[in-house]
Amino acid sequence: MLKHSILVLALIALPVAAHAALGEPAASVPADSARLKASVRVLGTGGAYTVHELTLPTGTIVREFLNGAGTVFAVSWRGPFQPNLPALLGSYFATYANAPRSAGSNRSHLAIDETNLVVRAAGHQRAFVGLAYLPRLLPPGLSASELQ
């Protein structure tokens, strides 16, 4: 439990990253990215969702997956530094912080399988990857394995 508390405190202390929070509308992305000097590009999927890719000054890439209503239903990250998870997960951060870890979780791999939040993350110094999504907001026919 102490290790978990230390991890949560370390994540809170990280610099603020540029993104809209999970489960929220993406309207704040342009202002946040300008303020934090992150480059943004919109990747068209031609399907039921759109991807906003933010490249942070640290080199970390955050992807936000927005459904047709403009709501962020998933976020992924990869890069040398982990993004600010409290900001990235928004109101779902408390669920993340308090959720029991699923089988297979260890110091370098994290799995959370809650009804309203699924998280997969892995990493070590200078190499972090992760995905968090809201199962109820996944567009019909989209599998979480397709999100990168």
CA distances from 75 to 2, 5, 45, 118 (A): 27, 23, 15, 11
Residue pair 104/120 in contact (Cβ under 8 Å)? The answer is no
Mean predicted lDDT score pLDDT of the chain: 82
Question: In the chain, how many domains are there?
Answer: 1
3-state helix, strand, coil in the chain (%, to 5): 30, 30, 40
Q: How far apart are CA 49 and CA 58, in angstroms?
A: 27
Q: Could you report the per-residue pLDDT of 26-56, keeping only the tens digit for each?
A: 776 665 566 556 788 888 766 789 998 888 8
What is the value of pTM for the model shown? 0.81
pLDDT in tens, 85-124: 888 898 999 999 999 999 989 989 999 999 999 999 999 8
User: What's the domain range around 71?
Assistant: 2-146
